[in-house]
Amino acid sequence: MIDDLALLKDTVREAGERALALRARGLNINHKPGGSPVTNADLEIDAFLKEHLRAARPGYGWLSEETPDNPDRLAHKTVFLSDPIDGTTAFMKDRDWWSICIAVVQDGRPVAGVIFAPSLNQMFEAQDGLGAKFNEQPIRVSPQTTVEDCAMLGDAKMFAHPSWPTPWPPMTIAARNSIAYRMALVAAGEYDACLAMSSKHEWDLAAGDLIITEAGGLVTDHLGRTFTYNRPVPEQRSLVCAGAPLHSFLLQRLTHIQD
């Protein structure tokens, strides 16, 4: 039987081809409660992933952004967590920075995960205990040890806000629409860290969590707590990811935020 990681890789490649074809034909765009956009491609790729993966693993639970949540998933030891298109705004605007991310979570922790950026043909992957890869080549997080002059993925306005007790030092700050893709870039060492102080959904984090961890990095919230997945409310308060020395210095700058 095909293993879980191979199943995920094969599935996201086909999903990526379908998403690109749907975009080329023209998208139907609507908005969810709260205003975030959703396209027909988000929904069709979600349906494809759910049907394909659950047919291959009928005993696994399911949690994704575009499927109404079913509490039955909480009774499953093993669950798929998926975002069919993470970075829908970039996808809609014909930009490259969107991804399809899927993780297999077992007993609350990811054990296999993929993040695929179809427009760039970039595949990031990991399996528990077997390391992380980018397009089949092993990857490691960057060795950066200082916040100053690091390459940071995040919101430049947040870092520049006057409410910080100590202003942030000079950094190269970049943005990417897809949270999962940001995490993949940190795992590959292309950026040193990713920081987000707004809550994030588990389906955007689980695959990246495993890929960064297997690449030698750390993934926590701003209080240094590691994530448990497939919780009744599938959100995490914040996101801090980097190699160990830099991660520690980032947490030191966040100690005043206790909520």
What are the b/e assignments for 178-215, b being 16+ CB within 10 Å? bbbbbbbbbbbbebbbbbbbeebbbbbbbbbbbbbbbb
**Residue 125: CATH number of its domain:** 3.30.540.10
Instruction: Tally Cβ neighbours within 10 Å of residue 69.
Output: 14
Q: Which domain, by its residues, includes 84?
A: 4-138
- Closest Cα to residue 226, out of 99, 108, 105, 144? 108
145 in a domain, yes or no? no
Question: Where do we find the tokens 């707004």?
Answer: 198
Region label for 78, one of left (φ > 0), alpha (ψ between -120 and 50) or beta (otherwise): beta
Q: How far is CA 192 from CA 66, 196, 214, in A?
A: 31, 14, 15
What is the bridge-based pairing of β-strands 132-134 and 137-138? Answer: antiparallel
210 in a domain, yes or no? yes
Q: Judge if 214 and 102 occupy the same domain.
A: no
pLDDT tens-digit map of 16-34: 999 999 999 999 999 998 8
Q: Judge if 120 and 242 occupy the same domain.
A: no
Residue 85 parent element (H or E):
strand 78-86
Q: Judge if 160 and 200 occupy the same domain.
A: yes
**What is the side-by-side strand order in the sheet with 151-153?**
172-174, 151-153, 193-196, 239-243, 217-220
144 in a domain, yes or no? no
Which of 107, 138, 169 terminates a domain? The answer is: 138
**What is the side-by-side strand order in the sheet with 122-127?**
61-64, 78-86, 99-106, 109-117, 122-127, 132-134, 137-138
146 in a domain, yes or no? no
Gap between the Cα atoms of 239 and 222, Å rounded? 6
pLDDT of residue 142: 98
Q: How many folded domains does the chain comprise?
A: 2
12 in a domain, yes or no? yes
What tokens were used for 46? Answer: 């979600």
User: Cα 187 from chain centroid?
Assistant: 11
Q: Judge if 70 and 169 occupy the same domain.
A: no
Q: Judge if 156 and 69 occupy the same domain.
A: no
pLDDT of residue 1: 46
143 in a domain, yes or no? no
Q: Judge if 86 and 212 occupy the same domain.
A: no
Which of 138, 159, 177 terminates a domain? The answer is: 138
Burial of 255: CB neighbours in 10 Å, binned 0-12, 13-18, 19+: exposed
Q: Judge if 176 and 232 occupy the same domain.
A: yes
Q: Judge if 76 and 174 occupy the same domain.
A: no
pLDDT of residue 258: 86
Q: Judge if 206 and 232 occupy the same domain.
A: yes
194 in a domain, yes or no? yes
What tokens were used for 42? Answer: 């988000």
Q: Judge if 32 and 110 occupy the same domain.
A: yes
**Which residues of the chain register pLDDT less than 50?**
1
257 in a domain, yes or no? no
Q: Judge if 65 and 178 occupy the same domain.
A: no
What tokens were used for 41? Answer: 């491609």
SS (H, E, C) 107-172: CCEEEEEEEEECCCCEEEEEECCCCEEECCEECCCCCCCCCCCCEEECCHHHHHCCCCCCCCCCCE
